[in-house]
Amino acid sequence: MITKSLVTAVGLTLLVGCQTTSSNEEAIAKEVKLAYGNVVKDGETYIPAWQRNVEEINQVLSNVHHCADNIVLRYQTMSAQDISDSCKLLLDTQERFHGMFKRQHKPLLHDNNTVLRANIYAGRDDYVKYVTKHFDVPSNNGGMYLEGLPHLENNSAEYVAYLRDGKVWNLNHEFVHYLDGRFNTYGDYCSPPHDNHYGPEYCPTPAPEPPYLIWWGEGLGEYVAHLNDNEGALKLAGDKTYQLSELFYNNSANWDTKRIYRWGYLAVRYMMENQRDKVETMLFHVRRGDYSRYQKIVKDWGTSMDSDFHRWLDTVAVQ
Ligand SMILES: [Zn+2]
C-alpha cells in the first residue's frame, strides 16, 4: 500500500509540474528514490521505465488501437490488415487458453493486469534503436513480455515487439506469457524460482535452488501458440536429446533455442496431454505462489515419466 500511494504521488508530480521528458526525469530524481527493477526496498518507489519515458514512447509509438477492452496495440506503423490479423490472433489465443485451463476467466489473487498493451515497432532496426531507451530491456531478442508488479493497482502489463514480414514477431508466444502470468503463475516475474537477473526486473541474486519454472513458461508459450502445428519441434522429437526430468531443470545458464523453446514445447505438450492430473496438482501450488511446494513436486516426479516421455516422442515425431 505504501508503494502504491507513493507511485500515485509521483504520478501527480509529473502531471502537474513537468512539461518534458527530461524534466520529468529530473523531478523523479529529486523527489524519489527509484527501485532497482522489481525489487522495491523501504523508502524506494517503483516507477518502471515505460512510465518514466511515456512521452518519448508516445512520440515514436504514436498510434493506438483497441482489439478489445483488455488488449491494446500501441504502434509506430501498421497496415489495417496487420492490425486486424494481430487482433484476431490474440483474441483466438485468449479463447484457446481459457478453454484449456477452464478458470472461468478468473485472475489470480492480487493480479491487477487487466489490460495488456502490445508496443510494436515498425521493424527490427527501430526496435534496436528505441527499445532499450524506452523500456530498459535488452534488444537482442524477438520481443519481451514485461509483467511489472501486478499487485499494484496502477500497474500496466506491456509487451515489446516489432514487425517482421508484415507480422508482429512472436506475438502469440509473448501473449501467452501474459495469460500465464495472470491466470497460472502467482506474483511478478521475480516470484517463481529462476536464475535470470537481467533487466527490466533485475531480480535479486542469489537465485533460489532449481528446479525453476522456465520449462513451463516457455514451453507453454509455444504450446498454446502452436498446438500440434510445430514442425520445428516435432522434427527434433525423434532425436530424444533430453530426458523429461532434465527439461524440468531448464534455466538461463543452459539456454539455447532448441532446448528452451522446442524441447520446452515437447515437455509441456506431453504433460498437458498425458499427465494432466500432475499438471493440475502443480498449478494448484503455482497459482497460490507456493513455489517451494512446486519444487518439491517436481523433485518427487524425478525420472518417473522419462521412459513414457520417450515412448510418446515416437508417436509425434516427424521426419
Ligand atoms: Zn518466452
Residue 164 buriedness (CB in 10 A; 0-12 / 13-18 / 19+): middle
Residues forming a β-bridge with 139: none
Residue-level pLDDT, tens digit, the chain, 319 residues: 333 333 333 333 333 333 344 555 555 556 789 998 898 999 999 999 999 999 999 999 999 999 999 999 999 999 999 999 999 999 999 999 999 999 999 999 999 999 999 999 999 999 999 999 999 999 999 999 999 999 999 999 999 999 999 899 999 999 999 999 999 999 999 999 989 888 889 998 888 899 999 999 999 999 999 999 999 999 999 999 999 999 999 999 889 999 999 999 999 999 999 999 999 999 999 999 999 999 999 999 999 999 999 999 999 999 8
- Quote the pLDDT of residue 25: 59
3-state secondary structure of 34: strand
For 189, phi and psi rounded to 5 degrees?
-60, -30
Distance 218 CA to ligand 1 centre (A): 5
String of DSSP letters for 80-114: HHHHHHHHHHHHHHHHHHHHHH--TT-PPTT----
Q: What is the pLDDT of residue 288?
A: 98
Residues flanking ion ligand 1, Cβ below 5 Å: 218, 221
Find out if CATH 1.10.390.20 is the number for domain 214-316: yes
The answer to whether residues 295 and 214 touch, using CB atoms and an 8 Å cutoff, is: no
* Centroid of ligand 1 to alpha carbon of 221 (angstroms): 6
Which residues lie closer than 8 Å to 208 by C-beta, 6 or more apart?
A: 193, 194, 291
Residue among 147, 149, 110, 134 nearest 51 (CA): 134
Q: What are the strands, taking DSSP E only, across 23-62?
A: 33-34, 44-45
Q: Ligand 1 center to residue 144 CA distance, Å?
A: 7
Q: What is the reported pLDDT for 31?
A: 73
> 174 C-alpha to center of ligand 1: Å?
6
Ligand 1 centre distance from Cα of residue 250 (Å): 13
Q: How far is the CA of 10 from the centre of ligand 1 (A)?
A: 32
pLDDT of 28 reads: 59
Task: Give 66 Cα–ligand 1 centroid separation in angstroms.
Answer: 23
Q: How far apart are CA 25 and CA 52, in angstroms?
A: 7
Q: What is the torsional sign of CA 99, 103, 104, 108?
A: negative
Q: How far is the C-alpha of 20 from the C-alpha of 75, rounded, in Å? A: 21
Tell me how far apart the alpha carbons of residues 279 and 271 are, in angstroms, rounded to a whole number: 7
Q: Would you state the pLDDT for residue 15? A: 35
The residues carrying an active-site annotation are 174
Q: How far, in Å, is the centroid of ligand 1 from the Cα of 212?
A: 14
Ligand 1: centre distance to CA 198 (Å): 14
Domain range list for the chain? 2-47, 57-183, 214-316
The pTM for the full model equals 0.90
285 C-alpha vs ligand 1 centroid, how far in Å? 22
Q: Report d(CA 164, CA 73) in Å as an integer.
A: 16
Domain 57-183 annotated CATH 3.40.30.10: no
d(CA 193, CA 297): 14
- The region, left, alpha or beta by phi > 0 then psi within -120 to 50, assigned to residue 26 is alpha
Residues 280 and 250: beta-carbon distance below 8 Å: no
